[in-house]
C-alpha cells in the first residue's frame, strides 16, 4: 500500500503518526494503517474530536477539558462549563471546526517530561488533564498541537486538520468525571465523522431511523410501559398494552418449555444473605447487589439470580441417575444495582424478569443438553423474528472459582456442541462468568444492530458449593453438572429490542390489539357488536370503536396504534352480512364472511414467526 494513503503506522507493534516515516530504523517492522481500516477510522475520528476541543476553546475560553476519545460510531469530548451548552452552541462549534479544518493545520506531536506536562496543565487550570497525568507512570508524556491549540494525547493523529472531510455534532449529554457519580457532572458533546459526505448522510439517516424506532418513544405512543420517579428509576410499569404482549410472550414461553420437558418453578424475591455468600455471588457480584435488610435479626438480600433457589428445589429430595437430566425453568424477577447514569428505558433496568432455566445432568449428558438448548434457543429467536445472530464462546475470566480441570471440561463441552451443530462462533477470551464458561448469542435486529440476549453456561462449581448429588447406577453419590441458560435474557430487555426491531409494528400474534371494528354510523352498531363479540369469544384481541367520528378519522387513529386489521362496518356490510377488512399497511382485502375472516387471522396467529410480519409504517 502507498505510504501516502496511510493514516498512521505500526512500528514494531506500536501505533505511530505518519511522520514517523522520516525517522524509521531500517530494521524496524512497519505496517501501514490504511484510512479505510477500523483503526484508521478511529484515528480519523479522534482527530476530529481534537478539532472540536480546539473550536470549543476558541468560542468558550473558560471551559475546562476532560477526555475526548473516538467511539465505535463517532467521538465525544467531556467539558466542564458552568453554563449548559445549547443546540445553538453546537452550530457555532461546527462552524468554527470548519474554519480550523480549512486552515489545514499540521498535527504536531511533542514528547515532554511528565512533571513538566503536569506543571503546564496545572498552570492553565486544567485540573482534569492534571489528574490524568498524575495517573500515568511513564516519565515522558505526549502532547499534540495544531493551530496554537495543545492537548494531552497519546495519539496518533492525522497529518493535518484538512484531512477531515465530513463530520456532524449530534447531541449533548451529562457524564460524570471518570464515570463516578460521586464526581462532578460534565457536559459531553457527541459527534461523528466519515471520509465522505455520502457516508455521513447514510449514517445520519440511520440515526434518524434509530430515533424513530426508539422503544422509549414508541412505548409512550403505544401506551406500553412507563417509568415513574415516584416509584424509582429502572423499575418498569407495564401498561395494559405492554402487559398483554408480555403475557403472550410468557404463555408461549411456558407452553414450549412444557413441550421440551422442563418443570416450571416459582421462587421468592428475597433470601437469607448466607445463601449468596455460599453461592459466591456476595464475593464476586456484590457491587451489583443491594444492601441487605434485617428481618428478625437475620440479614436477607433481594435476589440478583435465581440459581440458588433452583438448587434448593433440587436438594429437597433424593435424586437418582434415572431422574437426570432434570430441567427447571422460571420466569424469575431479579434485582440488580445499576448506576442511574446507565439506566435506559427497558434495555438497562434495576428490576427485570429472566427467562431462566437450570438443567441438572450427568457429565455424559452435557453435550446432548447443550445441543438441545441451541436448537431451542434458535427456535425461540426465529419465532420472535430474529434469524441473524453472532455466537461467542466466552472463556475463563481473571477472577473465577473451581478447578482449571473443570473449566477445561466445561469449555470443551460448549465448543464441541457448537462445532457439532456447524455453528460459526468466535472466542471471547476472559468473558465467562465466575463459575463457568458460556455461549453468548447476540441477535441482529432489522437495522443490523447486535443485542446480547441468549446465554448457555456450564457450571461445575455451584453444585459443589451446595453439595448437590445424585445416586448413580453404582449405588454411590455423584455430583451433577449444572447448566444455566436464558433464551431471551430478560423480558424487559428483549421486549425493548422487539419494539425497535418491529418499529412498534408487531406481528399479529404479539399485537396488543389484533383487530379493531369500526362503524361508519350509529345504525351499524348492532351488527358491529355481533362481530366484536364473536371475535372476542374466539380469543382474538379486539376493540370496538363506535365513536361519533368520521370513518377516516377512526382509520387514522387505529393506524397510529398500529392495529394489524381494521374491520369496517357500513350499510353494505350490514345488509350482506359481510366484512370489509383493511390491513394497517392501507391495503383493503376481502370482503369476507365473519367465519372466513376468523379462519385467516386464527391461522396467522397460530403460525407466529412462520409468517412474515407486516412492518409497513
Q: Which domain holds residue 382?
A: 245-265+304-502
pLDDT digits (tens, 9 = 90+) for 311-352: 999 999 999 999 999 999 999 999 999 988 789 999 999 999
Q: Is the pLDDT assigned to residue 16 strictly greater than 90?
A: no
DSSP string, 166-212: EEEEEEEEEEEGGG-TTSPEEEEEEEEEESSHHHHHHHHHHHHHHHH
Residue 50 assigned ligand-binding role: no
Do 390 and 521 have their domain in common?
no
Residue 132: which pLDDT band, with cuts at 50, 70 and 90?
A: very high
Residue 154 in contact with residue 17, Cβ under 8 Å? no
Q: Which helix (H) or strand (E) holds 113?
A: strand 108-113
Kindly state whether residue 220 falls inside one of the protein's structural domains.
no
Stretch 198-215: mean pLDDT:
96
Residue 388 in contact with residue 444, Cβ under 8 Å? yes
pLDDT at residue 614 in the model: 41
Do 330 and 475 have their domain in common?
yes
Range scoring the smallest mean pLDDT among 11-20, 365-374, 461-470? 11-20
Do 496 and 420 have their domain in common?
yes
Q: Is the pLDDT assigned to residue 210 strictly greater than 60?
A: yes
Question: Which residue pairs from 146-150 have beta carbons closer than 8 angstroms and sit at least 24 positions apart in sequence?
Answer: 146/50, 146/51, 146/54, 146/100, 146/105, 146/106, 146/107, 146/108, 147/54, 147/100, 147/103, 147/105, 149/50, 149/53, 149/54, 149/57, 149/58, 150/110
Contacts of 552 (CB under 8 A, 6+ apart): none
Q: How far is CA 542 from the centre of its chain?
A: 32
Kindly state whether residue 294 falls inside one of the protein's structural domains.
no
Cell digits of residue 416: 464441541
- Packing angle, helices 594-607 and 525-537, rounded to 10: 40
Residue 453 assigned ligand-binding role: no
Please name which of 221, 198, 231 lies closest in space to residue 351, comparing C-alpha atoms. 231
Write down which residue in 478, 502, 526 finishes a domain: 502
pLDDT at residue 312 in the model: 97
Do 361 and 488 have their domain in common?
yes
Number of structural domains found in the chain: 3
Phi, psi dihedral angles at 287 (to 5 degrees): -65, -20
Share of the chain above pLDDT 70, in %: 97
Stretch 438-447: mean pLDDT:
95
Stretch 132-160: mean pLDDT:
92
Specify burial of residue 60 (Cβ count, 10 A radius: 0-12, 13-18, 19+): middle
Question: Three-state SS across 394-423?
Answer: ECCCCCCCCCHHHHHHHHHHHHHHHHHHCC
Buried residues in 201-218 as b, exposed as e (16+ CB within 10 A): eebeeeeeeeeebbbbeb
Residue 180: Cβ within 10 Å count: 10
The DSSP bridge pattern shows strands 426-428 and 389-394 to be parallel
Residue 167 in contact with residue 200, Cβ under 8 Å? yes
DSSP string, 246-271: HHHHHHHHHHHHHHTTPEE----SEE
Q: What angle do CA 373, 374, 380 make, to 5 degrees?
A: 85
Q: What is the CATH number of the domain that holds 354?
A: 3.30.930.10
Phi, psi dihedral angles at 494 (to 5 degrees): -60, -40
Do 431 and 345 have their domain in common?
yes
Residue 76 β-bridge partners: 190
- Give me Rg for the CA atoms of the chain: 30
Q: What is the mean pLDDT of the chain?
A: 92
Q: Is the pLDDT assigned to residue 1 strictly greater than 50?
A: no
End-to-end CA distance of the chain: 46
The DSSP bridge pattern shows strands 438-444 and 426-428 to be unpaired
Write down which residue in 502, 533, 559 finishes a domain: 502
Kindly state whether residue 371 falls inside one of the protein's structural domains.
yes
Do 443 and 580 have their domain in common?
no
Sheet (strand 579-583) strand order = 542-545, 515-519, 565-569, 579-583, 588-592
Do 200 and 257 have their domain in common?
no
Q: What is the CATH number of the domain that holds 104?
A: 3.30.980.10
pLDDT at residue 437 in the model: 93
Angstrom distance (rounded) from CA 552 to CA 369: 55
Kindly state whether residue 236 falls inside one of the protein's structural domains.
no
pLDDT at residue 56 in the model: 97
Write down which residue in 453, 481, 502 finishes a domain: 502
Kindly state whether residue 426 falls inside one of the protein's structural domains.
yes
Residues tagged active-site: 307, 336, 354, 356, 358, 438, 484
- Residue 185 or residue 4, greater confidence: 185
pLDDT at residue 388 in the model: 94
* The model's pTM: 0.89
Q: Is the pLDDT assigned to residue 569 strictly greater than 60?
A: yes
Do 521 and 484 have their domain in common?
no
Question: Which residue pairs from 407-410 have beta carbons closer than 8 angstroms and sit at least 24 positions apart in sequence?
Answer: 407/436, 407/437, 407/460, 409/363, 409/460, 410/436, 410/437, 410/458, 410/459, 410/460
Angstrom distance (rounded) from CA 343 to CA 483: 29
Kindly state whether residue 275 falls inside one of the protein's structural domains.
no
Do 194 and 118 have their domain in common?
yes
Residue 348 DSSP one-character state: B
Do 324 and 459 have their domain in common?
yes
Cell digits of residue 237: 410499569
Residue 307 assigned ligand-binding role: yes
Kindly state whether residue 7 falls inside one of the protein's structural domains.
no
Do 421 and 550 have their domain in common?
no
Residue 609 in contact with residue 383, Cβ under 8 Å? yes
pLDDT at residue 576 in the model: 94
Kindly state whether residue 382 falls inside one of the protein's structural domains.
yes
pLDDT at residue 29 in the model: 80
Sheet (strand 438-444) strand order = 263-264, 326-335, 351-361, 481-490, 450-459, 438-444, 389-394, 426-428
Q: Is the pLDDT assigned to residue 79 strictly greater than 90?
A: yes
Phi-psi region of 590 (alpha: psi -120 to 50; beta: other; left: phi over 0): left
Q: What is the CATH number of the domain that holds 568?
A: 3.40.50.800
Cell digits of residue 37: 481500516
Length of the chain: 617
Do 409 and 525 have their domain in common?
no
Q: Is the pLDDT assigned to residue 55 strictly greater than 70?
A: yes
Angstrom distance (rounded) from CA 93 to CA 198: 22
pLDDT at residue 611 in the model: 43
Cell digits of residue 536: 372476542
Cell digits of residue 574: 350490514
Amino acid at each position: 500500500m502507498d505510504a501516502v494513503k496511510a493514516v498512521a503506522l505500526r512500528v514494531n507493534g506500536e501505533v505511530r503518526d505518519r511522520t514517523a516515516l522520516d525517522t524509521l530504523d531500517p530494521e524496524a517492522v512497519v505496517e501501514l494503517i490504511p484510512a479505510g481500516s477500523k483503526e484508521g477510522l478511529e484515528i480519523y475520528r479522534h482527530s476530529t474530536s481534537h478539532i472540536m476541543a480546539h473550536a470549543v476553546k476558541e468560542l468558550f475560553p473558560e471551559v475546562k477539558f476532560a477526555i475526548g476519545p473516538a467511539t465505535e460510531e463517532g467521538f465525544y469530548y467531556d467539558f466542564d462549563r458552568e453554563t449548559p451548552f445549547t443546540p445553538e452552541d453546537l452550530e457555532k462549534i461546527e462552524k468554527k471546526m470548519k474554519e480550523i479544518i480549512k486552515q489545514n493545520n499540521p498535527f504536531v506531536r511533542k514528547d515532554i517530561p511528565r512533571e513538566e506536562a503536569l506543571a503546564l496543565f496545572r498552570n492553565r487550570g486544567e485540573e482534569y488533564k492534571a489528574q490524568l497525568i498524575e495517573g500515568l507512570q511513564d516519565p515522558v508524556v505526549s502532547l499534540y498541537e495544531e493551530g496554537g491549540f495543545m492537548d494531552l494525547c497519546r495519539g496518533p493523529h492525522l497529518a493535518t486538520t484538512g484531512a477531515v472531510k465530513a463530520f456532524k455534532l449530534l447531541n449533548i449529554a451529562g457524564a460524570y468525571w471518570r464515570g463516578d457519580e460521586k464526581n462532578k457532572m460534565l457536559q459531553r458533546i457527541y459527534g461523528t465523522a466519515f471520509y465522505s459526505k455520502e457516508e455521513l448522510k447514510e449514517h445520519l439517516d440511520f440515526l434518524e431511523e434509530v430515533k424513530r424506532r426508539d422503544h422509549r418513544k414508541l412505548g409512550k405512543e403505544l401506551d406500553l410501559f412507563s417509568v415513574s420517579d415516584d416509584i424509582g428509576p429502572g423499575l418498569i410499569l407495564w401498561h395494559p398494552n405492554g402487559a398483554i404482549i408480555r403475557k403472550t410472550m410468557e404463555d408461549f414461553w411456558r407452553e414450549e418449555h412444557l413441550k421440551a420437558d422442563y418443570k416450571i418453578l416459582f421462587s421468592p424475591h428475597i433470601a437469607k444473605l448466607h445463601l449468596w455468600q455460599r453461592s459466591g455471588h456476595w464475593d464476586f457480584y456484590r457491587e451489583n447487589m443491594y444492601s441487605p435488610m434485617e428481618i428478625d435479626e437475620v440479614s436477607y438480600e433481594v435476589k440478583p439470580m435465581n440459581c440458588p433457589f433452583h438448587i434448593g428445589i433440587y436438594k429437597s429430595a433424593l435424586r437418582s441417575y434415572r431422574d437426570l437430566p432434570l430441567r427447571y425453568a422460571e420466569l424469575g424477577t431479579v434485582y440488580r444495582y445499576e448506576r442511574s447514569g446507565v439506566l435506559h428505558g427497558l434495555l438497562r433496568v434495576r428490576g427485570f424478569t429472566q427467562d431462566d432455566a437450570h438443567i441438572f445432568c450427568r457429565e455424559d449428558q452435557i453435550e446432548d443438553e447443550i445441543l438441545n438448548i441451541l436448537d431451542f434457543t434458535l427456535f425461540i429467536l426465529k419465532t420472535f423474528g430474529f434469524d441473524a445472530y453472532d455466537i461467542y464462546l466466552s472463556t475463563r475470566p481473571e477472577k473465577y472459582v473451581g478447578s482449571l480441570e473443570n473449566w477445561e471440561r466445561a469449555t470443551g463441552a460448549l465448543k464441541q456442541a457448537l462445532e457439532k451443530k456447524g455453528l460459526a462462533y468466535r472466542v471471547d477470551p476472559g468473558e465467562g462468568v465466575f463459575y463457568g464458561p458460556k455461549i453468548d448469542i447476540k441477535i441482529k435486529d432489522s437495522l443490523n444492530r447486535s443485542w446480547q440476549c441468549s446465554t448457555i453456561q456450564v457450571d461445575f462449581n455451584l453444585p459443589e458449593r451446595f453439595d448437590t448429588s445424585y445416586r448413580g447406577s453404582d449405588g454411590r453419590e455423584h455430583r451433577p453438572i449444572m447448566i444455566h441458560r436464558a433464551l431471551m435474557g430478560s423480558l424487559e430487555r428483549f421486549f425493548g429490542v422487539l419494539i425497535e426491531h418491529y418499529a412498534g409494528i408487531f406481528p399479529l400474534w404479539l399485537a396488543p390489539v389484533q383487530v379493531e371494528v369500526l362503524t361508519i354510523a350509529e345504525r351499524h352498531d348492532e351488527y358491529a357488536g355481533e362481530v366484536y363479540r364473536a371475535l372476542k369469544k374466539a380469543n382474538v384481541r379486539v376493540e370496538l370503536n363506535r365513536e361519533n367520528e368520521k370513518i377516516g378519522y377512526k382509520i387514522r387513529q387505529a393506524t397510529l396504534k398500529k392495529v394489524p386489521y381494521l374491520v369496517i362496518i357500513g350499510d353494505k356490510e350490514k345488509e350482506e352480512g359481510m366484512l370489509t377488512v383493511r390491513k394497517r399497511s392501507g391495503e383493503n382485502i376481502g370482503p369476507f364472511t365473519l367465519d372466513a375472516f376468523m379462519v385467516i387471522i386464527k391461522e396467522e396467529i397460530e403460525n407466529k414467526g412462520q409468517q412474515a410480519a407486516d412492518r409497513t409504517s
